[in-house]
Amino acid sequence: MDTLFPPVPVYPPGFTYVPDFLTEEEEQQLIREISGIELHAFNFHGYEAKRRVASFGYDYRFDQRSLVKGREIPGAFQNLVGKVASKTGISKEEFVELLVTEYPEGSVINWHRDAFPFDVIAGVSLLSDCTFRLRPHDKTKRVRGSIISLPVKRRSLYLIAGKARTEWQHSISPVQSVRYSLTLRTLRNPPGRS
């Protein structure tokens, strides 16, 4: 039976998607800021991925398996951090990492969960869309149809928290054109918390 409205996607608990989070002007300003940042190849356990990155705040070093404090998050991105904080109800100070990523045409992110020291993940897409996929981390829970695919549009925001963070993996299908993402993360155990 046909319906007037398309079905609403069912996301894992803790996953939120907000289309049109940024205005076109905000997107263009962020792209200008990114153009002034020196990006470098992303290395994962000796493998050079087909994307370039720059990390600010806390950073997880895969080669050392440790969390290190790096350069401060640039002031030009503080409005974005504040806007994400306002939308998510997470304080601006809790977002301790900003990862800037450039995905050239055809690049992917394979199935993974973000590094353990991080907790909540907020991602903002710029310049082009992508297909975001989610699947259960536990292999025994992966059945036919357990992969959730959704279009993540430019200027949108997604949030991965709770069970979506701990019990699900995510990946990105090959992008059709250059895409930038700005990923903000909180820490599972922030310094000073007992």
What span, in angstroms and rounded, lies between the C-alpha atoms of 113 and 188?
A: 14
b/e burial code for range 123-149 (CB count within 10 A of at least 16 → b): bbbbbbbbebbbbbbeeeeeeeeeebe
Amino acid at 155: R
Rounded to the nearest integer, the mean pLDDT of the chain is 89
Phi, psi dihedrals of residue 186, rounded to the nearest 5°: -100, 165
Q: What is the pLDDT of residues 93-132, one digit of tens each?
A: 999 999 999 999 999 888 988 888 899 999 999 999 999 9
Which whole number is the average pLDDT over 163-192? 92
What predicted TM-score, i.e. pTM, was given to this entire model?
0.89
Q: What pLDDT shows up at residue 67? A: 79
Q: What is the pLDDT of residues 7-22, one digit of tens each?
A: 666 899 999 999 999 9
Structure-block tokens of residue 141? 């829970």
Cα dihedral 86, 82, 11, 165 sign = negative
In this predicted structure, the answer to whether residue 158 has a pLDDT above a threshold of 60 is yes
In this predicted structure, the answer to whether residue 136 has a pLDDT above a threshold of 50 is yes
Which whole number is the average pLDDT over 177-187? 97
Q: What pLDDT shows up at residue 5? A: 61
Q: What is the pLDDT of residues 53-97, one digit of tens each?
A: 999 998 877 666 777 788 999 999 999 999 999 999 999 999 999
Model confidence at 194, in pLDDT bands (50, 70, 90)?
very low
Please give the residue that has the higher pLDDT: either 9 or 179: 179
In this predicted structure, the answer to whether residue 154 has a pLDDT above a threshold of 80 is yes
In this predicted structure, the answer to whether residue 6 has a pLDDT above a threshold of 60 is no
Share of the chain above pLDDT 90, in %: 69
Q: How many Å separate Cα 134 from the centre of its chain? A: 13
Q: Which residues contact 135 (CB under 8 A, 6 or more apart)?
A: 111, 142, 146, 147, 148, 168, 169, 171
